[in-house]
Amino acid sequence: MNIPLRHCRVCLGERLTPFLSLGKMPPINSFPAGEDDFVAEKFFDLTVAFCEDCSHAQLTEALDPKAVFSDYVYFSSMSDTFVAHGRELAMELKEKMKLSEKDLVAEIASNDGALLQSFKSLPTRILGIEPARNIATVARERGFPTVVEFFTEELGKRLREEYGPARIILGTNVLAHVLDLRDFVRGIRSFLADDGAAVIEVPYLVNLIDGLEFDTIYHEHLSYFRVEVLDRLFQSEGLLLFDAERIPLHGGSLKVFIGHPNGPHERTARVGELIAFERERDLGTIAPYQAFALRVAAVRERTLEFLRGLHDAGKHIAGYGAAAKGNVFLNYCQVGPDLIEFIADRSPHKQGRFTPRNHIPVVAPEEILRRMPDILVIFAWNFADEIIFQQSEYRQRGGKFAMLLPEPRVIL
Ligand SMILES: [Zn+2]
């Protein structure tokens, strides 16, 4: 079920040097239901390597995407922040690209239509592409035409024949998950209209390093991107990265715009500025990656001290957000239900189940007020403001919040 990395996903070179190991982990979005599932859990190596040829940071081992994504538990519409982000993007593109009725807006990994719903108010045709059948079914019920397949070069060609070229291709939460990046990029090239733009968002490597966001490293995220490497990736398949921008989503992301080199788009100065910024930080060499790995090991020690200190002082600790981030953190730090009594999560697909490997019970958010833990650790730190707002009554009753990155601390 695991697929070892044989060559770099971007440049196809073979000189890969591992720099960070987070140990053995189960698939991070598999939530066992009880004892029978616990004994059947499987563990896979979670290690990140640096390509000595193009400097791309990537996992050395991938899970079979068909096993991970065919029946998925993450529904984008669960997140208010994400839905608001979609609204802004739709307005921006309407303006920039002067979209009209004949234009096709297609989204790769469209999930339940959380982003496409913002494009419904525009006079364009829309199309979702989503490999998880259970999620695509929800999207269709909500009125979004959805093709249930993985996006590949072959599919890109087929969609162009069937629907015509896409004026906009959205890929806001997909590129880091892709096993065969070059094939995926060829798919975009095939499907994208001559005057079209693909809008790709990825978590930014610089934010990962600076914010010590190692909990975004898990089996589904195969690649950790920066502008210079993305530029090389698209260029190698005959596309032009013509604009790049840092955005706050998911702890700090990059939004890049891709077009055909002979299309109407001029490359902006921002692209060169960001590449220069990355070079100043030596991100083409392995040294900053090795320094990052040392900081990750140190924060594990401080987190364990922090949680044990609270526990020894008689505090009841619970968590909020049984998302991948929390599971990576708990697994790497080996924290179980002895320290974190339960984790609240809005997704009914997770409630009544347990976190992978450490087996902390996952409950509905209503349990927080019923059980009133002294400390609520926010694992989904990218949605911290939203969670604190939702849990205002817990706070009024004297409950405290804690965050673990980049430094474990009680925040409110
Ligand atoms: Zn490479």
- 3-class secondary structure for 273-336? HHHHHHHHCCCCCCHHHHHHHHHHHHHHHHHHHHHHHHHHCCCCEEEECCCHHHHHHHHHHCCC
Output the CA 309–ligand 1 centroid distance in Å. Answer: 43
The predicted structure's pLDDT at residue 306: 96
The predicted structure's pLDDT at residue 207: 95
Take residue 301 and report the two structure tokens written for it. 């020690």
Output the CA 10–ligand 1 centroid distance in Å. Answer: 5
Start-end of CATH 3.40.50.150 domains in the chain? 76-264
The predicted structure's pLDDT at residue 69: 66
Output the CA 316–ligand 1 centroid distance in Å. Answer: 47
Output the CA 5–ligand 1 centroid distance in Å. Answer: 12
Output the CA 237–ligand 1 centroid distance in Å. Answer: 14
6 CA to centre of own chain = 23
The bridge status of strand 61-63 relative to strand 2-4 is: antiparallel
Output the CA 159–ligand 1 centroid distance in Å. Answer: 30
Architecture of domain 76-264: 3-Layer(aba) Sandwich (3.40)
Output the CA 6–ligand 1 centroid distance in Å. Answer: 11
Output the CA 271–ligand 1 centroid distance in Å. Answer: 20
CATH for the 288-410 domain, from 3.40.50.10490, 3.90.110.10, 2.40.160.20, 3.40.50.720: 3.40.50.720
Q: Is the dihedral of CA 226, 53, 109, 234 positive or negative?
A: positive
Start-end of CATH 3.40.50.720 domains in the chain? 288-410
If one counts every other C-beta atom within 10 angstroms of the C-beta of residue 341, the result is: 16
Distance (Å, whole) CA 382 – CA 57: 22
Take residue 410 and report the two structure tokens written for it. 């009680």
Tell me the CA distances in angstroms from 126 to 90, 161, 200, 227, 324, one per residue in order.
12, 16, 17, 28, 29
The predicted structure's pLDDT at residue 71: 61
* Of 225, 148, 182, 263, nearest in space to 9 by CA: 182
Mean pLDDT by 10 residues, the chain (412 residues): 89 97 86 91 93 97 76 63 84 90 93 88 89 91 94 98 97 93 98 97 96 90 97 98 92 94 96 98 98 95 95 96 88 93 93 94 96 95 88 95 91 83
Output the CA 7–ligand 1 centroid distance in Å. Answer: 8
Output the CA 8–ligand 1 centroid distance in Å. Answer: 4
The predicted structure's pLDDT at residue 77: 60
The predicted structure's pLDDT at residue 86: 86
Output the CA 276–ligand 1 centroid distance in Å. Answer: 19
The predicted structure's pLDDT at residue 144: 93
Output the CA 48–ligand 1 centroid distance in Å. Answer: 13
Output the CA 241–ligand 1 centroid distance in Å. Answer: 18
Output the CA 293–ligand 1 centroid distance in Å. Answer: 20
Output the CA 56–ligand 1 centroid distance in Å. Answer: 5
